[in-house]
Amino acid sequence: MLDQQTAEIEVPEAQNPVESLLRMDRMPHIWCPGCGIGTTVNCFARALEQSKLDLDKVAIVSGIGCTGRVAGYLNLDSFHTTHGRAIPFATGLKLANPDLKIVVYSGDGDLFAIGGNHFIHAARRNVDMTVICVNNLIYGMTGGQVAPTTPVTAKGTTYPYGSYDPPFNLPYLADSSGAGYVARWTVYHVRHVTKAIKEAIAHRGFSFVEIISPCPTLYSRRNRLGDGLDQMKFYKENSEIKNGADTKEVGMDFQGKIIVGKFVDRERKTYRQLMNEHLSNVFGEQFTPYEG
């Protein structure tokens, strides 16, 4: 009798808890073992689930590179655009359909080297979108060249003797360009990352989340920093949470302390609000607002 009962118990098939948000027909993904991008995707998916948004109205836009592939794995309206141009594509998408929630998801090289100009202008305009930057301090897909985020003295294939090219402090850049929400976490801080993404998505206007993430294949190995797990231990031991920190003070040195936290949270009128309010004042009833 007991045996029969046991036989009748259905063992649930192991399922990824965020599977409904993934394009399972595209798995396995391209990311290396120990890479942090998958962790950020997991956090993003959980944040989206918790946000209770209508997911048919969420669009994700990526540029090119390892993180640029995120759009292709998410079961959302998703766009894999050209190198550095996710933000202006997203600007057109958002302005043309204001009902959409737009997330730009890309890497540090894509967003801040070739795409740097677009980033500062979208932040300045306060176009309503969330930009998630997975910052692995290097160009991964092309094979380990230095990025505008690579700390000085770290090695990349194009600065083989160590970089002397001063990097950006991304939260400071976002803050000074006008972003309304700015946070930085590492992939060690999964709950904080999830919460930050949730807050950034809920924020009206331009929001920015930087996630420090290991590239074991091309950054850690060349710089003799161990594997992905070693990097996670490093993040655990060397991160310091400082919510509200002055973004000027959060620049990163090679293997130095990583200041994490929510740095900026302020309201500004969005580009669309500014446009509609101004044109309504100018034209009065003659103004024909864009209907979307």
Partner 1 sequence: MKADKETVLTGAHFIDGDHAACEGAIAAGCKFVAGYPITPSTEVVERIALRFPLVGGIFIQMEDEIASSIAIQGAVWAGKKAMTVTSGPGFSLMMEHIGYAAITETPCVFINVQRGGPSTGLPTLPAQADMMQARWGSHGDYEIIAIVPNSPQECFDLTIRAFNLSEEYRVPVLVMMDECVGHMTEKVVIPEARQIDIVERKFTKKPPGEYKMFETNGTMVPEMVKVGDGYRTHLTGLTHDEQGYPAMSPKVQQRMLRRLVDKILLNEEKIRHIEEDHVEGADVVVISYGITSRVVLPAVNKARKEGVKVGHIRLITVWPFPESYIRELAKKVSAFVVPELNLGQIVHEVERCAAGNAVMQLVPHAGGAVHAPEDIYDTIKGVIEHA
Q: Coil, strand, or helix at residue 32?
A: coil
Closer to partner 1 by CB, 21 or 258: give it: 21
Strand pairing report for 258-265 and 181-186: antiparallel
Please identify which residue in 47, 100, 113, 250 interacts with partner 1, judged by CB under 8 A.
100
Closer to partner 1 by CB, 94 or 198: give it: 94
Minimum Å gap between C-beta 268 and partner 1 is 18
Closer to partner 1 by CB, 72 or 226: give it: 72
Please identify which residue in 1, 11, 14, 282 interacts with partner 1, judged by CB under 8 A.
282
Q: Coil, strand, or helix at residue 251?
A: coil
Q: Coil, strand, or helix at residue 248?
A: helix
Give the HSE-up count for residue 128: Cα atoms under 13 Å, Cβ half-sphere.
24
Q: In the block, which residue shows the tokens 């595209």?
A: 26
Please identify which residue in 99, 224, 284, 285 interacts with partner 1, judged by CB under 8 A.
99
What are the Cα distances from residue 11, in Å, to 14, 16, 18, 138? Answer: 9, 15, 19, 43
Q: Would you say 119 and 61 are in contact if contact means Cβ atoms under 8 Å apart? A: no
Site map 2..31 versus partner 1, x via CB under 8 A = ---------------------x-xx-----
Q: Coil, strand, or helix at residue 268?
A: coil
**Bridge partners, 258 (sequence order):** 239
Q: Is 257 in the site for partner 1 (CB under 8 A)?
A: no
Closer to partner 1 by CB, 54 or 237: give it: 54
Q: Is 56 in the site for partner 1 (CB under 8 A)?
A: yes
For residues 79 and 88, what is the distance between their CA atoms, to the nearest angstrom? Answer: 12
Which positions lie near partner 1, rule CB under 8 A? 23, 25-26, 55-57, 59, 61, 71-72, 75-82, 85, 88-97, 99-100, 117-118, 121, 275, 279, 282-283, 286-291
